[in-house]
Structure 1
Amino acid sequence: MCNGFGKPIPIAQVRPLHSLLMTRASHEAQRETHPSIRPFVLCRSGSPGIQRYAQTWSGDNSTSWETLKYNIPMGLGFGLSGQPNTGHDVGGFWGSVPEPELLVRWVQNGIFHPRFSIHSWRLDGTATEPWTYPEVIDIIRDCIQFRYRLIPYLYQLFVEAAESGHPIVRPLVYHFPDDPEVVDQSFDFMLGSNLLIVSVHEPGCRTRDVYVPGEVKWCDFFTGIWYNGGSSNVIETPLERPTLLAREGAIIPTGKAMARVGAEPDDTRELFIFPGPDGSSNSERLVEDDGTTLDYRTGARSIVRVSVTATDTQIECTVTREANGFAIEYGHLTIALPPGESRTFVHHSAQELPPDVNGRRRFEIPIP
Structure 2
Amino acid sequence: MVLRGVGATDAQEPAARHLLILWTDVFVTAHPGARHAVPQVLDSFRRYAKLRERLIPYLAEETKAGLAENKPLMRGLFFDHTDDPKIWDHQDHFRLGSALLVAPVTEPGATCRTVYLPVGTDWVDAWTGETVAGGQEILREAPLGTVPVFVTAGRWPTLKPLFSELV
Is 1:92 the counterpart of 2:5? The answer is yes
Task: Indicate the residue corresponding to 1:101 in structure 2.
Answer: 18
Over alpha carbons, which structure has the higher Rg?
Answer: 1
- Structure 1 segment 232-243 matched on structure 2, within 5 A: 232-243=137-148
Percentage of matched positions with identical amino acids = 30
Task: Indicate the residue corresponding to 1:168 in structure 2.
Answer: 73
- Structure 1 segment 43-122 matched on structure 2, within 5 A: 66-68=1-3, 92=5, 97-98=10-11, 99-111=16-28, 116-118=29-31
After TM superposition, give the deviation of residue 131 of structure 1 in Å: 4.4
Is 1:148 the counterpart of 2:53? The answer is yes
Contact 1:195 1:244 in 2 (8 A): yes
The AA in structure 1 aligned to 2:46 is R
Task: Indicate the residue corresponding to 2:151 in structure 1.
Answer: 246
Which structure 1 residue ranges, 5 or more long, are not aligned? 1-65, 69-90, 119-126, 253-270, 274-335, 340-355, 359-368
Contact 1:108 1:241 in 2 (8 A): yes
Is 1:272 the counterpart of 2:159? The answer is yes
- Are the structure 2 counterparts of residues 102 and 357 from structure 1 closer, same or farther at C-alpha, using a change threshold of 3 Å? closer
- Are the structure 2 counterparts of residues 101 and 212 from structure 1 closer, same or farther at C-alpha, using a change threshold of 3 Å? same
Match of 2:104 among 192, 199, 204: 199
Which structure 2 residue ranges, 5 or more long, are not aligned? none
After TM superposition, give the deviation of residue 67 of structure 1 in Å: 2.2
- d(CA) in 2 for partners of 1:221 and 1:210? 13
Which deviations, in whole Å up to 9, do the C-alpha atoms of 1:88-137 show, x marking residues without a partner?
Answer: xxx5288x8352111100011113xxxx342xxxxxxxx41244322432
Structure having the higher strand fraction is: 1
Task: Indicate the residue corresponding to 1:132 in structure 2.
Answer: 37
| Aligned pairs, number | 162
After TM superposition, give the deviation of residue 204 of structure 1 in Å: 1.1
- Structure 1 segment 345-364 matched on structure 2, within 5 A: none
- d(CA) in 1 for partners of 2:73 and 2:33? 26
Contact 1:105 1:239 in 2 (8 A): yes
Secondary structure of the equivalent of 1:92?
Answer: coil
Bigger Cα displacement from structure 2, 157-166 vs 234-243: 157-166
- Are the structure 2 counterparts of residues 209 and 185 from structure 1 closer, same or farther at C-alpha, using a change threshold of 3 Å? closer
The AA in structure 2 aligned to 1:97 is D
Contact 2:113 2:140 in 1 (8 A): yes
- Normalising by structure 1, we get a TM-score of 0.40
Which deviations, in whole Å up to 9, do the C-alpha atoms of 1:165-200 show, x marking residues without a partner?
Answer: 210111112111111101353201100111000110
Secondary structure of the equivalent of 1:178?
Answer: coil
- Normalising by structure 2, we get a TM-score of 0.83
Which deviations, in whole Å up to 9, do the C-alpha atoms of 1:218-248 show, x marking residues without a partner?
Answer: 1101101121111111111121322200011
Match of 2:132 among 217, 222, 227: 227
- d(CA) in 1 for partners of 2:89 and 2:114? 15
Secondary structure of the equivalent of 1:128?
Answer: helix
Contact 2:124 2:156 in 1 (8 A): no
- Are the structure 2 counterparts of residues 165 and 93 from structure 1 closer, same or farther at C-alpha, using a change threshold of 3 Å? farther
Secondary structure of the equivalent of 1:139?
Answer: helix
- d(CA) in 1 for partners of 2:44 and 2:18? 10
- d(CA) in 2 for partners of 1:338 and 1:128? 27
After TM superposition, give the deviation of residue 338 of structure 1 in Å: 9.1
- Are the structure 2 counterparts of residues 227 and 199 from structure 1 closer, same or farther at C-alpha, using a change threshold of 3 Å? same
- Structure 1 segment 1-40 matched on structure 2, within 5 A: none
- Are the structure 2 counterparts of residues 129 and 233 from structure 1 closer, same or farther at C-alpha, using a change threshold of 3 Å? same
- Are the structure 2 counterparts of residues 235 and 160 from structure 1 closer, same or farther at C-alpha, using a change threshold of 3 Å? same
After TM superposition, the runs of 4+ consecutive aligned structure 1 residues lying more than 4 A away are 336-339
